[in-house]
């Protein structure tokens, strides 16, 4: 069994299980809380809540260092980045990743299934440009607001559609709602969710594999039960589902690398961690499947999956590890957090994260309520 990377066993870890070198203050609108509320049952509801909270936590933690490489992150945060920072809209605020994820979840709840027209409508209604949308995504959403046909907007900027990670980053709610569906039904639901923004085969395939991972993890336990009860089982399940060579090759590389990933040694400081053979091995794996800024969906999903596999029993370490890969840090960590939360539920979320998540309109409490409603869906056709 793979062990957490060294910062999970950092000698200085305290309440969060990790150390942070900067002060932290509650986000605007946040209220003091001991942690996320218990889900209404001990089963699927807690998996849905954990997945959505994992996604927003990864997005929020990673947003402050988006575009940085791991060396810069190490230099700025010598004891590792483990608590939220002031980012684009202030401490504890999320980005477009969470905004679109929440919009998609709401659409699923509204319609009881994935409906491309309603999903597009909800994306456009939620759209706040200041959340950090890319140029092409913003153009699509402005066009949708102006009344454009959602079936045509995905190819307005790219004739073949976008292969970027913007579809995969928001797709977790589909995996949760369609967790018991066949691969064909799940894939069609993914296409519906992405129709207005991503129709390139690789953009769709990356999102499909992300959704399939969330679906399988929501029906599994870290100890080995279910269809994805171990890192090897997860990759074995996903690889034959991939429809593109790009995604399939990355999954095969991760599966081939998994047996060679040693149990990481403890390190007394961040320099010791990043100079360790374990870190070097992980960098070799990541460099083989992705560029430093993981824009293509297949690259981003591959990196997020590696974070999950390397921190199988440690959802906090999974998110922190994803951020410290560098690159598109908010998106990689959001996807990794969505998967880890689907596997572990919601009880793992540190109070330091929960207390500092933004909690104004469409904030933390809204996410909890949407998760509660989303957990009632079990779409199979």
365 is in an annotated binding site: no
> Is the distance from CB of 230 to CB of 312 less than 8 angstroms?
yes
- What is the Cα–Cα distance from 51 to 36, expressed in whole angstroms? 12
96 is in an annotated binding site: yes
Task: State the CB neighbour count (10 A cutoff) for residue 89.
Answer: 17
What is the DSSP-derived secondary structure letter of residue 164? B
Phi, psi of 164 (to 5 degrees): -75, 175
- What is the Cα–Cα distance from 371 to 303, expressed in whole angstroms? 25
Nearest to residue 374, comparing CAs of 12, 48, 4?
Answer: 48
What is the DSSP-derived secondary structure letter of residue 153? G
95 is in an annotated binding site: yes
330 is in an annotated binding site: yes
> Is the distance from CB of 379 to CB of 372 less than 8 angstroms?
no
282 is in an annotated binding site: no
Nearest to residue 131, comparing CAs of 105, 99, 102?
Answer: 99
Q: Which residues contact 184 (CB under 8 A, 6 or more apart)?
A: none
SS3 296: strand
221 is in an annotated binding site: no
The backbone region for 358, taken as left when phi is positive above 0, alpha when psi lies in -120 to 50, beta otherwise, is beta
User: Where is the binding site for Mg(2+), in residues?
Assistant: 95-97, 328, 330-331
User: Where is the binding site, in residues?
Assistant: 95-97, 328, 330-331
């Amino acid at each position: 069994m793979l062990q957490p990377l060294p910062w999970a066993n950092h000698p200085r870890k305290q309440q969060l299980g990790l150390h942070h070198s900067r002060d932290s203050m509650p986000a605007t609108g946040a209220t003091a809380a001991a942690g996320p509320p218990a889900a209404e049952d001990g089963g699927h509801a807690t998996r849905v809540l954990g997945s959505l909270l994992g996604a927003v936590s990864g997005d929020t933690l990673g947003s402050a260092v988006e575009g940085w490489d791991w060396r810069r992150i190490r230099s700025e945060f010598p004891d590792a980045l483990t608590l939220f920072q002031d980012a684009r809209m202030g401490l504890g605020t999320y980005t477009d990743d969470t905004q679109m994820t929440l919009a998609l979840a709401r659409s699923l709840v509204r319609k009881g299934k994935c409906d491309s027209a309603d999903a597009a409508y909800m994306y456009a209604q939620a759209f706040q440009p200041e959340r950090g949308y890319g140029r092409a995504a913003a153009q699509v959403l402005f066009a949708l607001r102006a009344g454009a046909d959602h079936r045509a907007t995905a190819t307005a900027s790219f004739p073949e559609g976008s292969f970027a990670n913007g579809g995969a980053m928001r797709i977790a709610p589909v995996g949760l709602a369609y967790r018991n569906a066949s691969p064909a039904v799940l894939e069609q639901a993914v296409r519906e969710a992405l129709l207005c923004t991503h129709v390139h085969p690789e953009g769709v395939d990356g999102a499909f594999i992300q959704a399939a991972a969330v679906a399988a993890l929501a029906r599994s336990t870290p100890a080995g039960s279910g269809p994805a009860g171990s890192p090897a089982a997860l990759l074995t399940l996903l690889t034959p589902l991939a429809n593109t060579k790009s995604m399939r090759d990355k999954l095969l590389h991760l599966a081939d690398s998994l047996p060679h990933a040693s149990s990481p040694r403890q390190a007394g400081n961040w320099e010791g961690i990043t100079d360790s053979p374990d870190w070097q091995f992980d960098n070799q794996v990541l460099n083989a499947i992705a560029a430093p800024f993981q824009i293509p969906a297949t690259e981003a999903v591959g990196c997020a999956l590696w974070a999950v596999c390397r921190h199988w029993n440690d959802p906090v370490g999974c998110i922190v590890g994803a951020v410290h890969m560098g690159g598109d840090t908010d998106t990689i960590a959001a996807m990794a957090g969505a998967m880890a939360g689907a596997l572990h539920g919601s009880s793992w979320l540190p109070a330091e994260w929960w207390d500092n998540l933004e909690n104004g309109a469409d904030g933390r409490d809204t996410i909890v309520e949407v998760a509660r409603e989303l957990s009632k869906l079990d779409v199979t056709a």
